[in-house]
């Protein structure tokens, strides 16, 4: 007689999977990818491709070596690759981008147990590692040159006085608006606000186009992949502190990696709190640290550090903000 399956209820499922979620995140990152190619030229696409490929390959090789089932099908390594690429300058040497990807996947994700187990955001942490290891190329900003950048390599000191970029960079080096703001140089010219919205400014590959990032964020909200809590608290606190402390709020919002970080990194599942209240606390903490670093620290930008520090605080936030069950007695 034909045997029947038995299992514990429920016997139906909505049909989602980790891969469908990650696919939605990739879709949400597409506008920013397109914008980055239009703004920084083909090299933006090249760096992104190298990062994604290196991430997927290192995850596959690592799991192969440890005889674990491969998880590259869940697309999370692709997301990490894209997010890392988006927080790199377009002129980054490709081997450095690849190395950063290996660090992200193997050191930060897989060594801690793979997807869902890593306590720090792989893309954010790898970016910080690269920032410390390759501070020259990591702060050599190319000014937006469009699809067909100038071939002449020009190197110059960045406005915040950091080490000069080596001449591997295609295009014209330029200070990022944040660096210009931070150095307080009177002569530094800031891009106009419309340019900032569109992303026509120096900066990392995927962070400059506010319009594209917000479009992706709206998509993720509509698909219920992310909730508004962490991004709203993050951005809200940065804006509030900018206003309170006399900084130019619109520029603070649109420059640096604030939107990329708030929408795509402060909403990473593994490394941020689970409850809504926890997410608000997480976002507010990110906003506070970002503002403190931007306004008083020696680095012009603090989004990555803020997210990493709050990643570390996440288990404690989770412990402190457990939902009260309906009818539950105080334990």
Partner 1 sequence: MKRLARLKLTHNKHTAYSPPARIPTPPVVTIPMLMHIGAPAKPIVKAGDEVKVYQRIADAGGFVSSPVYSGVSGTVKSVGTARLASGQTAEAVVIETDGKQTPLPGITPPSVTSFEGFLEAVRESGVVGLGGAGFPTAVKLSIKDANRCEYVLINGAECEPYVTSDMRTMLDDGDMVWEGVLLIKRYFPRARIIIGIEDNKPECVESFRGRCETESGVEVAALRTRYPQGGEKMLIHATTGRVVPEDKLPIDAGVLVLNCTTLAVLARYIKTGVPLVEKCVTVDGPAVREPRNVISPIGTPVSALFDFCGGFVSEPKKVLFGGPMTGVAVADLDAPVMKNVNAVLAFAERDAELPAQTACIRCGRCVEICPMDLSPVQIEIAYQLGRAELLEKHKVNLCIECGNCAYVCPAHRRLVQVMKLSKPLLKKYRDEKKAAEKEASRT
Q: Which residues contribute to the site for partner 1 (CB under 8 A)?
A: 1-2, 4-14, 16-18, 20-21, 71, 74, 76, 114-117, 269-270, 274-275, 318, 322-329, 331
114/300 with CB nearer partner 1: 114
68/243 with CB nearer partner 1: 68
76/158 with CB nearer partner 1: 76
Q: Which residues, including other chains, have CB under 8 Å from residue 228's CB and lie 6 or more apart? A: 221
Q: How far is the CB of 310 from partner 1 (least distance, A)?
A: 15
Length of the chain: 331
Taking alpha carbons only, the member of 289, 93, 258 closest to residue 177 is 258
DSSP category for residue 110: G
Q: How far is the CB of 271 from partner 1 (least distance, A)?
A: 8
**Which residue in this structure is represented by tokens 């606390």?**
281
Q: How far is the CB of 10 from partner 1 (least distance, A)?
A: 3
Q: How far is the CB of 220 from partner 1 (least distance, A)?
A: 12
Handedness of CA 286, 288, 291, 296 (dihedral sign): negative
Q: How far is the CB of 265 from partner 1 (least distance, A)?
A: 15
Taking alpha carbons only, the member of 204, 215, 225 closest to residue 17 is 225
117/250 with CB nearer partner 1: 117
Tell me the C-alpha distance between 238 and 247, whole Å.
Answer: 10
20/166 with CB nearer partner 1: 20
Tell me the C-alpha distance between 25 and 80, whole Å.
Answer: 10
Residue 114: left (phi > 0), alpha (psi -120 to 50), or beta? Answer: left
Q: Which residues, including other chains, have CB under 8 Å from residue 290's CB and lie 6 or more apart? A: 234, 238, 258, 261, 302, 303, 306
- Token pair recorded at residue 235: 């951005």
18/155 with CB nearer partner 1: 18
Q: How far is the CB of 42 from partner 1 (least distance, A)?
A: 33
């Amino acid at each position: 007689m034909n045997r029947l399956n038995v299992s514990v209820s429920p016997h139906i499922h909505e049909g989602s999977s980790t891969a469908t979620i990650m696919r939605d995140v990739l879709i949400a990152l597409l506008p920013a990818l397109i914008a980055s190619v239009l703004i920084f030229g083909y090299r933006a696409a090249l760096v992104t491709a190298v990062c994604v490929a290196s991430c997927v390959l290192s995850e596959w090789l690592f799991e192969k070596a440890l005889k674990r089932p491969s998880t590259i099908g869940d697309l999370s390594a692709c997301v990490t690759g894209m997010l890392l690429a988006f927080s790199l300058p377009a002129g980054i040497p490709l081997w450095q981008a690849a190395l950063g990807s290996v660090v992200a996947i193997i050191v930060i994700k897989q060594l801690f147990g793979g997807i869902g187990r890593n306590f720090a955001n792989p893309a954010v942490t790898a970016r910080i590692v690269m920032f410390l290891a390759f501070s020259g190329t990591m702060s050599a900003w190319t000014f937006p040159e469009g699809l067909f950048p100038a071939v002449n390599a020009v190197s110059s000191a960045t406005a915040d006085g950091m080490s000069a970029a080596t001449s591997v960079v295609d295009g014209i080096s330029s200070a990022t608006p944040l660096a210009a703001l931070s150095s307080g140089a009177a002569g530094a010219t800031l891009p106009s606000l419309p340019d900032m919205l569109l992303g026509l400014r120096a900066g990392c590959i995927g962070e400059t186009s506010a319009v594209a990032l917000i479009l992706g964020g709206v998509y993720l909200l509509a698909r219920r992949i992310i909730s508004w809590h962490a991004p709203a608290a993050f951005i809200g606190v940065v804006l509030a502190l900018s206003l309170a402390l006399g900084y130019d709020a619109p520029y603070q919002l649109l420059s640096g990696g604030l939107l990329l970080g708030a929408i795509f990194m402060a909403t990473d599942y593994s490394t941020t709190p689970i409850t809504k209240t926890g997410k608000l606390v997480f976002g507010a903490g990110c906003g506070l640290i970002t503002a403190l670093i931007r306004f008083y620290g020696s680095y012009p930008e603090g989004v990555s550090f803020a997210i990493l520090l709050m990643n570390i605080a996440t288990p404690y936030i989770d412990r402190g903000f457990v939902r009260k069950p309906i009818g539950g007695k105080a334990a």
